[in-house]
Structure 1
Amino acid sequence: MHSGFSSSQRCATSPKPADRDFRKRSNLGEVQRGDSDIWAGEKWLDVRGFSRTATGKIATIRSVMGARLALARSKGCAAVEPDNVDAWSNDVSQNAPAGTPRNAVSASDQLAYNRWTADAAHAQGLSVLLKNDLDQVADLQDVYDGALNEECFDFTGDCFLLKRLRDAGKAIYVVEYHNAGFATAARKAQASQLHLNVILTDPDATQLDPYARFGTW
């Protein structure tokens, strides 16, 4: 097992292009985690139809996101973690275009997009980490090089959903938004068991140095 990449080598990619027309045509609602945690201005990418076609809107998404991966490579990134790749299991209707269903994205379209993203990253010579989307780990473990998860310790059983990646010898990073006191003996033992690389930081991730690290680092 290994931790794999330094933080300076991992780069995040999310659909936030400057092209206003692209954003209007290819986005759903604002990202919302929980009942009130809304990320204003951050949109779910509309990947509906990704499993069935490579033309029109889907071709544009491939072009824009492919360019972002190429940019990551040009900046010296060794790995990327495409963000917001679990629209299928979230409410995407928050401040969305009129008539957008809460669960607009199907599991099959999400899988198709996530697999394409992994393949496109590899084509650029980049490793790729799965960001959250724990319910599709079994279907994606073969195409991703590891995972970056947020707060799996805060939800009973979530950390164990990453076990398939551990068993495949792939790097697993976990970010928890808690102070150093969160690193209890029990959590350290679980992190070691699952080969997790855990970092504790503030909710806005503004800490230059983490509160603590534990696990496989």
Structure 2
Amino acid sequence: MGGKSLSRPWSLRKKLLVGVLVAVVVLGLALGLGLGLTVGREDGDGQDGSQPTATGAPLPSPTARLPWRPQVNESWQIVLQNSIVLAPDATSVTPDVSIFDVDLFDTSKETIDTLHRLGKKVICYFSGGSYEPGRPDSGEFEDADSGKELDGWPGEKWLKLSSANVRRIMKGRVELAHQKGCDGVDPDNVDGFQNDNGVDLTAEDSIAFISYLSNITAPFNLTLGLKNAGDIISNVLPVVHFSVNEQCVQYSECDTFAPFIEAGKPVFHIEYPDDAGSTIQENEVDKYCGDTGDAEGRKGFSTVMKKMDLDGWVEDCDRKVGTTAVNATKASR
């Protein structure tokens, strides 16, 4: 009796000790296996073990590459009217700037690859808040998704940003940007709440939509921009990485976009002088490139002067003029 009573605590301690040792071994194996799989995904030849997305683009490993973030004062060019023409063996591109903002649908992966080879970053433009006829996915929108036409853009309509179908289509566009190798995305027309939109859009709708775009671009390490929409900057500044602004000098509202600069995030700024495409008058350049009067708050912006159709012609604040070669086929936007 006494012997059994003395041995039972030891047996219990022995079982507990063995159990702990087994747990440690199992945990160590699990950690080692997990580490090995992670390393395998990083070192593999594109086989990251992820599942394909709806468009067939593989979801990247979270550590596949470091996200690119544009910097304040970086030089840029925007071409949306026509697709850029670049030979695969091109040794240069005009103008010699750091960043090109190009149309997602009309720009080929080969062109984006060539821009990368030339040391350029590529932001891909698409309309996030409007229906555009003639886009490859235009047929996927439903009648209930859209409202009134955009002023000055026949056939283009404001979208209901809370629509599950609209968001699904935009997710497909983000996946296409990843497939083509874009470094970031420039979703346009997210400011429908500031316009007569026909679908009762509010600022809260745009804020929620930008949050959604942030959630779906982050896994692809795509940098995300805010196009205009000055009224919601304070709400979305933490989740976007740059601003694309049009005509803040013309409308005396550059100080609205200055918080981007204060946060260390660039403002890619466009003005449309009447004489763009030829020699812009000195006083016009001074007006758009200053930081007083109508341009108050513009300091630190990456300013370009363009024609309204956003073709290959551009002039910067240093009076450097360049024309990016484009094809002769008019783009959809």
* TM-score bracket, shorter-length normalisation: 0.7 to 0.9
CA distance in 1, matches of 2:156, 2:142: 10
CA distance in 1, matches of 2:209, 2:248: 23
Q: Does 1:73 align with 2:178?
A: yes
Structure 2 spans left out of the alignment, 5+ residues: 1-71, 76-97, 102-121, 321-333
CA distance in 2, matches of 1:193, 1:12: 23
Per the alignment, residue 176 of structure 1 pairs with 271
Q: CA deviation at 1:21?
A: 5.2
Q: CA deviation at 1:183?
A: 1.0
CA distance in 1, matches of 2:154, 2:313: 27
CA offsets 1:159-213 (integer angstroms, 9 cap, x no match): 11111110001011011111332211x542317962101111111112x231x11
Contact 1:86–1:110 (CA<8 Å) still a contact in 2?
yes
Per the alignment, residue 249 of structure 2 pairs with 153
Match of 1:13 among 126, 133, 156: 126
Q: CA deviation at 1:26?
A: 1.1
Q: Does 1:134 align with 2:227?
A: no
Match of 2:214 among 109, 118, 127: 118
Match of 2:313 among 198, 205, 209: 209
CA distance in 2, matches of 1:160, 1:193: 7
Q: Secondary structure at the match of 1:137?
A: helix
CA distance in 2, matches of 1:12, 1:127: 12
CA distance in 2, matches of 1:140, 1:21: 28
CA distance in 2, matches of 1:30, 1:124: 32
CA offsets 1:69-103 (integer angstroms, 9 cap, x no match): 1101211211111111001111113xxxxxx5xxx
The 1:3/1:119 distance shift into structure 2, 3 A limit, reads farther
Q: Does 1:45 align with 2:141?
A: no
Q: Secondary structure at the match of 1:62?
A: helix
Moved more, 81-90 or 59-68: 59-68
Number of residues of Structure 1 aligned to a counterpart in Structure 2? 189
Q: TM-score, normalised by structure 2?
A: 0.53
Name the larger-Rg structure: 2
Alignment of 1:195-206 (within 5 A): 195-206=300-311
Q: Does 1:189 align with 2:303?
A: no
Moved more, 74-83 or 23-32: 23-32
The 1:193/1:152 distance shift into structure 2, 3 A limit, reads closer
Structure 1 spans left out of the alignment, 5+ residues: 33-37, 51-57, 94-99
CA distance in 2, matches of 1:60, 1:70: 15
Match of 2:149 among 30, 48, 57: 30
Q: TM-score, normalised by structure 1?
A: 0.79
Q: In structure 1, what residue type is equivalent to 2:144?
A: R
CA distance in 2, matches of 1:19, 1:146: 27
Q: Does 1:82 align with 2:187?
A: yes
Q: Secondary structure at the match of 2:313?
A: coil
Contact 1:28–1:45 (CA<8 Å) still a contact in 2?
yes
Per the alignment, residue 8 of structure 2 pairs with none
CA distance in 1, matches of 2:220, 2:194: 29
Contact 2:267–2:302 (CA<8 Å) still a contact in 1?
yes
Match of 2:168 among 42, 55, 63: 63
CA offsets 1:103-144 (integer angstroms, 9 cap, x no match): x11221121012211222222211011000011111111110
CA distance in 2, matches of 1:118, 1:133: 16
CA distance in 2, matches of 1:161, 1:19: 33
Q: In structure 1, what residue type is equivalent to 2:155?
A: G
